[in-house]
Each structure stands twice: as structure tokens, then as C-alpha cells.
Amino acid sequence: MEIQWHESLATGVDKIDDQHKEIIARINTLINMDMENMDSEEMEHELQKVLRFLGGYVIDHFNAEEEIMTRYHYPEYDEHKKEHLTFLKNFATLKRMFEKEGTTSLMITATQNQAVDWLVKHIKNIDQKMAAFLKSKMQP
């Protein structure tokens, strides 16, 4: 199911919010992929795009959050960073699977379950805890 950006997801840090909006937009592209009407070449192309995005943009995003958490001495930094590392580990497994097996419907489902669902949950829960803390620190 598509995820919609909503103000309730805002962290109060423009850079982080813009990155979350971009991640959500890409996730929705994958969710809305019409696999029934795509040939294997199109599927491979789309999946490659998503994996490239996750392997680049999402990692930069994690670094940006970690830098802000460090700057504001976020007390739950270690737990949050551990979550990011979990994603990276799962992502490395997905990439290996893709390199070995190519685009299969199992691969697309695994990407949706392991990467996309994880990211949505993370943005809605773990990032929101961080956002509440940052908002309290940034109030004038």
C-alpha cells in the first residue's frame, strides 16, 4: 500500500524531511509497479533503479541523520544507528541475491518486504522519536 507524506512525519529538519519525501516517492514507484504488464527487461530495469537508489541516496540520508543526532547529542543515537546498520546488512543480502538470481518476482517481493517495509516502519517510528527530540532542542 502506498505511503503518503504527511506533516506528522516531519522532523523539523528540512534536509531530512526532503530526503524522506524523496524516499517515500521512490518507494511508491516500486509499490505501484504494474508487474503483470511488464516484461522481464522492464522489471529488471525498474528493480535496478530501486537498488541503485537504496544503495546511494538512502545511505547518504542515514549519514545526514547520524550527523544531526551527533550534533544534538541525541541520547538514543546508538539504537538508531544500529537500526540503520540492520538496513545496510539486509540491503547487502538483497544485492547479492539480485546479482546471483537476477530479477525474479521473489526478488521484487524480497525488496518490498526487506527494504521498503523496513524503511516505512523506520520513518514512521524510529525517525519520529528522533524528530520529537530534535524539535524540543530546536525550539527558539
Considering beta carbons, is residue 26 or 84 the nearer one to ligand FEO? 84
Cell of 22: 524523496
Segment interacting with ligand FEO (CB under 6 A) among 25-33, 58-66, 90-98, 103-111: 58-66
Q: Which residue is listed with cell 546479482?
A: 99
Q: Which residue in 65, 103, 111, 131 binds ligand FEO (CB under 6 A)?
A: 65
Query: Who contacts 72 (Cβ-Cβ below 8 Å, separation ≥6)?
Result: 133, 134, 137
Segment interacting with ligand FEO (CB under 6 A) among 26-34, 48-56, 60-68, 103-111: 60-68
Contact pattern from residue 2 through residue 31 relative to ligand FEO, giving x for each residue in contact according to CB under 6 A and a dash for the rest: ------------------x-----------
Q: How many CA atoms lie within 13 A of 85 on its CB side?
A: 6
Binding status of residue 122 toward ligand FEO by CB under 6 A: yes
**How many binding residues for ligand FEO (CB under 6 A)?**
10
Listed in sequence order, the DSSP H helices in 37-76 are: 40-53, 59-71
The SS3 assignment for 139 reads coil
Question: What is the C-alpha to C-alpha distance for residues 135 and 113, in angstroms, rounded to an integer?
Answer: 31
Q: What's the min distance (Å) between Cβ of 30 and ligand FEO? A: 17
Distance separating the N- and C-terminal Cα atoms of the chain: 38
Residues that bind ligand FEO (CB under 6 A): 20, 61-62, 65, 80, 84, 122-123, 126-127
